[in-house]
A and B are shown apart, each in its own frame.
Chain A
Amino acid sequence: MLPGAALKGLVLCAELALVVLPLIVGYEMAKAYGVFERPWKRLRPALAVIGLGPGGLVPLLAGVFLGLLYGAGILVSVSREEGLADSERLALAVFLVTCHAVVEDTALFVILGGSAFWILAPRLVMALGLTAWLARRGRSRL
């Protein structure tokens, strides 16, 4: 029983490693080439809808792709440097607690046989919906 369990456990670890190791290389490459730090001007109108100014883009992308823990360095330092308003920080936090590390988190459950669509799409919709609602509420108060 024990050797069988250990063998199956090793197979699971190998599967996790096969998925996550390439992701780690990809994240590091993206960070080294500043992919998350480009201005991506076309996204600005979309950012405004969820209550973020142009300064919120880098922390948002870092959180969505790298995750809260691994992206924390970029996330926290950039939101300080850019001097994000309290409302922007809240929007960022609400979006990211609902939806972050989208590739890695989804992949883990797809390895076990889950559906990528049903795991990811509802998170994205909720994150967008909540932040857009917060932003509208904020504007109507002014």
Chain B
Amino acid sequence: MSAEHTASAPAGPPWRLALGRSLGRGRKFLWFLLINILPLYVASDLLVSSGALAKISGFLEPVMSLWGLPPEAAAVLMAGMLVNLYAATAVAAPLALSWQQISVLGLILGIAHSLIMEAVVVRQLTPRYHALTLLRIVLGLGAGWLLALVLC
């Protein structure tokens, strides 16, 4: 990735170069959606509509109610924290959530997502990446709890 930044003197106007790169990245992104996000959505939709997810996650209700969320939303948090926000979106979409609940999830996961992948980048900045990953989880859950108190 750093090579991409330093090698910035190729031929052609900058916009053409940018457009070329966007096409490449855009195509990769569309494949990512079709290959990863679509199947994840379908799986989540089937688990939700069959009631299986509710059954599996039922025991989490006392915990998840702290954030004003249904127990199924625990799967959204896991997908977001361990994979990425697109995965979280795919798992969350089939659940019938209110705008307040989506906002709470968006705030928690906006702060604490892709924890493993992003820790690799943070590690390049500071050796205290473990502490910062913990900080993200604590801040995210704390902020989400406060937001749930404000909105619900």
Binding site for B on A (CB under 8 A): 1-2, 4-6, 8-10, 12-13, 16-17, 20-21, 24-25, 28-29, 31-33, 68-69, 72-79, 86, 89-90, 92-94, 96-99, 105-106, 108-115, 118-120, 122-123, 126
A22 to chain B, nearest CB (A): 9
Selected A-B contacts with CB under 8 Å, 8 pairs: A9-B45, A16-B89, A28-B25, A32-B15, A89-B126, A97-B118, A110-B106, A120-B110
Asked whether B18 lies within 8 Å of A25 as measured between CB atoms, the reply is yes
- With contact pairs A1-B49, A32-B14, A98-B136 given, residues A17 and B33 touching in the complex (Cβ less than 8 Å): yes
**Beta-carbon contact of B121 and A119 below 8 Å:** no
A78 to B124, CA, bound (A): 12
Q: Total A-B residue pairs with C-beta atoms closer than 8 Å? A: 189
Q: In the complex, what's the smallest C-beta–C-beta distance from A132 to chain B, in angstroms?
A: 15
Task: Tell me which of B30, B85, B132 contacts A105 (CB under 8 A).
Answer: B85
Query: Bound complex: CA of A78 vs CA of B122, how far in Å?
Result: 14
A69 to B117, CA, bound (A): 8
Q: What interface size band does chain B fall in?
A: 35 or more
Query: Given the complex, which residues of A lie within 8 Å of B99, measured CB to CB?
Result: 113-115
B54 located at the interface, meaning its Cβ lies under 8 Å from any Cβ of chain A in the complex: no
Q: In this complex, what residue of B is CB-closest to A89?
A: B125
Beyond the given A79-B125, A122-B147, please list 14 additional residue pairs across the A-B interface where CB-CB is below 8 A: A9-B45, A10-B38, A13-B33, A13-B34, A25-B22, A28-B25, A29-B22, A76-B124, A92-B125, A108-B106, A109-B106, A109-B110, A113-B102, A122-B146
State whether the Cβ of B52 lies closer than 8 Å to any Cβ in chain A: no
Q: Which residues between 120 and 149 of chain B lie within 8 Å of chain A, taking CB atoms?
A: 121-122, 124-126, 128-129, 132-133, 135-136, 139, 143, 146-147
Contact of B89 among A2, A94, A112, A115 (CB under 8 A): A112
Beta-carbon contacts of B83-112 to A below 8 Å, as 1s and 0s?
A: 001101110111001010011011101110
| In the assembled complex, B66 has its CB within 8 A of some CB on chain A | no
Q: How far is the CA of A99 from the CA of B118 in the complex (A)?
A: 13
Given A16-B33, A112-B102, A119-B107, verify A93-B21 contact (CB < 8 Å). no
Query: Shortest Cβ distance from A135 into chain B, in angstroms?
Result: 15
Check if B37 sits within 8 Å of A13, measured CB to CB. Answer: yes
